[in-house]
Amino acid sequence: MKRQIGIITAMTLAMTGMMTISAPALAEEEEPVIVRASIGAEPDNLNPWMSAATDTEAIFLNVFEGLVRFDETGAVIPGLAEEWEISDDGLTYTFHLRDDVTFHNGEQLTAEDVVYSYETLSGLNGEDPISSKFATITAIEAPDDFTVILTLSEANSAFLQLTRVAVLPEGYEEQSTAPVGTGPFAFVEYVPGQKMVLEKYEDYYDEERMPQIDGAEIYIMTDESAVVNALQSGQLDLGTVYADTADYVIGDFEVYSSPQNMVQLFALNNSVEPFDDVRVRQAFNYVIDKQQIIDLVFSGYATELYSNFSPVMAVYYNDELTDYYATDVEKAKELMKEAGYEDGLEITITVPSNYQKHVDTAQVIVEQLKQINVDAEIELIEWGTWLEDVYTSFDYQTTIVGLTGKLDPNDILARYTTGFKRNFMEYSNENFDKLISDALTASEEERVEMYKECQKILTEDAAAVWISDPNQIVITRSDLKGYTFYPVGFMDLSKLYFE
């Protein structure tokens, strides 16, 4: 027995010894300055042309750049192109490239790379196109090494911001495994299920955007409480979390919070009974108390929405719609009576099971709908099944989902046009369709008014119940400064620094 106790004691000593060496190795002077951050999902693809996920873009906007970039307000600013001219008919775009840009593999960026990129994207190289957004490009020319001219078949006022798409080096085939861009950070490695590692690109051309940290480790963490635990245990410097979690961190942390241009909506399938009746949709809008959802599900960290548009997009946001359907149970009951559903009805809310916030929202909605005798049942399905059944074949009654922000109002609103492949609300309104297509060729002032009108039409028709724009919450160690929010998901690492 003694011998055994000896062994156990030795083991215990060894363990406590290890524990007391303790976690955060203090940064010595020669140590590189690394920021350890978290994202909520695995990257969908390392090749930016093959990626569509917001979380992935948020990180890789540090690695890749396009002809133009965008600033904190969402406005277009020069990127790889110093300046550009647009012809009066809106069909010809001439970009003047910087001559001091190199890719992470050391090669200089020239017009050839831009031509290669746009030919591949638009399919003008004879292959299948990679992006349907560039289908209107009819010609790409490079009169000299640092000028590129794009010609379009039709004017499109949303085109310029599309040119923020990543420019990739010509002839480089390894983008999906070892991506190479021109951004302030270079890709180092990706360990599936664990992390991505980026390092400062020493030869970055823009002194003002030169990173102040030496690198970043981005940990993939799908579990919310794991992020909080990792912050608390000192394993993360920066974590992105959902609303209420922010209240739970205790200690030396800064909490940043900002609306993220997302639209969380309770979508009603406009083409099936009973939601083909506008009165039922309006009744739902009257009975659902958005503020209660925001309080219960998001601990108040969210902005109420009245149409499919977040106030973050200040220029285009129609602020006259505020409280268009102020919560009014009596009015809702009346509308239900008019529509012939006085005795109530039974509905199903189909929710993707991996989004806890949407599941929680569904629970609150079920309670609220009881006030107008609507018996709602929650059906949880896998994300993959949701994408197929709800998002592709519109085989559902109601659902709850979040639509991530876009920089251009057209990308946000065109979703409701008749015949749009992803119009899963199955909403249809001729006036709306016309406004959306006219806006593409209109002047900027006209566009603003048109998009405001579009929002109004959606609200009047009660195409869905728009709930909120949940805040994006970022928690950082209190000595890590410089976190900046953008109207689309972008974790700008170049602005971060330790005090």
> Site residues for other proteins, window 196-225 (CB under 8 A)?
219-225
Closest alpha carbon to 321 in 333, 335, 305: 305
Q: Which is nearer to other proteins, 146 or 490 (CB)?
A: 490
Residues 73-92 that bind other proteins (CB under 8 A): none
381: contact with other proteins by CB under 8 A: yes
Candidates 214, 276, 382, 479: give the one binding other proteins (CB under 8 A): 382
244: contact with other proteins by CB under 8 A: yes
Q: Which is nearer to other proteins, 198 or 267 (CB)?
A: 267
Q: At residue 489, what are phi and psi to the nearest 5 degrees?
A: -60, 115
Q: Which is nearer to other proteins, 170 or 338 (CB)?
A: 170
Task: Name residue 489's amino acid.
Answer: G
Q: Which is nearer to other proteins, 51 or 163 (CB)?
A: 51
13: contact with other proteins by CB under 8 A: no
28: contact with other proteins by CB under 8 A: no
Q: Tell me the C-alpha distance between 160 and 494, whole Å.
A: 24
431: contact with other proteins by CB under 8 A: no
- Interface segment toward other proteins; rule CB under 8 A; list 84-92, 128-136, 260-268, 445-453: 128-136
Is the Cβ–Cβ distance between 466 and 263 less than 8 Å? yes
SS3 264: strand
Which DSSP letter does residue 375 get? Answer: E
Residues 156-185 that bind other proteins (CB under 8 A): 176-177
Candidates 110, 161, 245, 307: give the one binding other proteins (CB under 8 A): 245
Q: Tell me the C-alpha distance between 38 and 16, whole Å.
A: 29
Candidates 33, 34, 40, 44: give the one binding other proteins (CB under 8 A): 44
User: Nearest approach, Cβ of 175 to other proteins (angstroms)?
Assistant: 11
Residues 246-265 that bind other proteins (CB under 8 A): 247-250
Residue 211 tokens read as 């990173």
Task: Name residue 88's amino acid.
Answer: D
26: contact with other proteins by CB under 8 A: no
Q: Which is nearer to other proteins, 57 or 199 (CB)?
A: 57
In terms of DSSP bridges, do strands 92-97 and 147-152 run parallel, antiparallel, or are they unpaired? antiparallel
Angle between helices 329-338 and 278-287 (to 10 degrees): 160
Candidates 339, 359, 440, 448: give the one binding other proteins (CB under 8 A): 359
478: contact with other proteins by CB under 8 A: no
Closest alpha carbon to 244 in 263, 218, 224: 224
What is the rounded radius of gyration, in angstroms, for the C-alpha atoms of the chain?
A: 25
Q: Tell me the C-alpha distance between 201 and 211, whole Å.
A: 8
User: Nearest approach, Cβ of 496 to other proteins (angstroms)?
Assistant: 21
- Interface segment toward other proteins; rule CB under 8 A; list 38-46, 59-67, 81-89, 199-207: 38-46
Tokens 């005795």 correspond to 343
Q: Which is nearer to other proteins, 264 or 318 (CB)?
A: 264
Which string of DSSP letters, residue by residue, matches 416-478? GSTT-TT-TT----HHHHHHHHHHTTS-HHHHHHHHHHHHHHHHHHT-EEEEEEEEEEEEEET
- Interface segment toward other proteins; rule CB under 8 A; list 80-88, 188-196, 431-439, 467-475: 188-196
